[in-house]
A and B are shown apart, each in its own frame.
Chain A
Amino acid sequence: DTGVSQNPRHKITKRGQNVTFRCDPISEHNRLYWYRQTLGQGPEFLTYFQNEAQLEKSRLLSDRFSAERPKGSFSTLEIQRTEQGDSAMYLCASSSPDRGGEQYFGPGTRLTVT
């Protein structure tokens, strides 16, 4: 297993367009997390799944954001009607419940909204 992968690595889009990112977690991990990171700040929690169930969604996440994890494997994060403030690095992580809070992160998808 090569770890957590994310696609695309970079995305440039125009304001108002929809974008979708994909995350493939480590195969034996049943938990999957999405974070957002802006320059000079730490990763900010967005949402997480245990298997296919979305257990928590940050109140900071507007209704333009939606995430899915069909069949408890890969996950997608969609942003509708993008705004310039959505420009950030979107990080995906996965974990196994028997490893405490230790999470394995992917390389991230850098979104630029013009």
Chain B
Amino acid sequence: DQQVKQNSPSLSVQEGRISILNCDYTNSMFDYFLWYKKYPAEGPTFLISISSIKDKNEDGRFTVFLNKSAKHLSLHIVPSQPGDSAVYFCAASGGGTNAGKSTFGDGTTLTVKP
């Protein structure tokens, strides 16, 4: 039972356009959601997060949207740059003693073409 799903294994966009990466979750106990970026031969790097009490969080070119009723979140990258090409993981964590322990999706490989 995969609790965090990224249904698109890959996404290709043109430089300067918007990249939209999607993530769905099933566990309503999750209250904190994160996006990580991973380059080959490196560990994941934290990108942006959102608490369940919010529906949007923005950091520069990156914006995460959360739709709790649909159990869906998305990451928007505007404008996309070739250096954004990487694997993007969606992750979710619960509160209390489980705060910090994260459940990850299987990732979406983003390719930004010059």
- Residue numbers of A with Cβ under 8 A of B are 4, 31, 33, 35, 40-45, 48, 55-56, 91, 93, 95, 97, 100-108
Residues of B contacting A4 with CB < 8 Å?
A: 43
Q: Tell whether, in the assembled complex, residue A42 and residue B106 are in contact, meaning their CB atoms are under 8 Å apart.
A: yes
CA distance A101 to B4 in the complex (A): 15
Q: Tell whether, in the assembled complex, residue A100 and residue B107 are in contact, meaning their CB atoms are under 8 Å apart.
A: no
Given A91-B43, A107-B41, decide whether A100 and B49 contact each other with a Cβ distance below 8 A: yes
- Residue numbers of B with Cβ under 8 A of A are 4, 6, 9, 32, 34, 36, 41-46, 49, 51, 89, 91, 93, 97-107
Q: Tell whether, in the assembled complex, residue B44 and residue A105 are in contact, meaning their CB atoms are under 8 Å apart.
A: yes
Residues of A contacting B107 with CB < 8 Å?
A: 40-42
CA distance A31 to B101 in the complex (A): 10
CA distance A91 to B38 in the complex (A): 12
Out of A31, A42, A107, A108, name the residue touching B100 (CB < 8 Å).
Answer: A31
Residues of B contacting A31 with CB < 8 Å?
A: 100
CA distance A105 to B97 in the complex (A): 20
> Which of B93, B102, B106, B107: most chain A CB closer than 10 A?
B102
Distance in angstroms from A89 CB to nearest chain B CB is 9
Given A42-B107, A44-B104, decide whether A103 and B46 contact each other with a Cβ distance below 8 A: yes
Distance in angstroms from B90 CB to nearest chain A CB is 8
Q: Tell whether, in the assembled complex, residue A95 and residue B100 are in contact, meaning their CB atoms are under 8 Å apart.
A: yes
Residues of A contacting B4 with CB < 8 Å?
A: 42
Given A97-B100, A100-B49, A101-B99, decide whether A42 and B43 contact each other with a Cβ distance below 8 A: no
Residues of A contacting B101 with CB < 8 Å?
A: 33, 45, 48, 56, 101
CA distance A55 to B49 in the complex (A): 24
> Which of A42, A45, A48: most chain B CB closer than 10 A?
A42
24 A-B pairs whose Cβ atoms sit less than 8 Å apart in the complex: A4-B43, A33-B102, A35-B104, A41-B106, A41-B107, A42-B91, A42-B105, A43-B44, A43-B89, A45-B102, A48-B101, A91-B43, A100-B32, A100-B49, A100-B51, A101-B32, A101-B34, A101-B93, A101-B99, A101-B101, A102-B34, A103-B46, A103-B102, A107-B42
**Minimum CB distance partner of A3 in chain B:** B43
